[in-house]
Amino acid sequence: ILVHNMFDKDEETDPSWEEDIRLDFEEECSQYGKISSVVVMSKEAGGKIYATFDGDDGAMSCAKNLAGRWFDKRQLRVEFVDSIPS
């Protein structure tokens, strides 16, 4: 899945912010299924995080629960993608 609006790279000041966001995302989303990988697109605009799950059910459940949710004054948008950047 690809989650949009998880962060604003221009507002992040902590040197380890990318890792913090990845860990928070993994903690929140692991309740929906086993996560295979998470990629924080820290250099791009749009606050994008890619995640893959071991099964489709976990990805679908995570997407359903995150889509439309508000996070730090930003509404999350989720889409399904065939692959993630490495």
CB proximity list for 11: less than 8 A, separation 6 or greater: none
More confident residue, 85 or 35: 35
Instruction: Quick: pLDDT tens for 1-55.
Output: 999 999 999 999 999 999 999 999 999 999 999 999 999 999 999 999 999 999 9
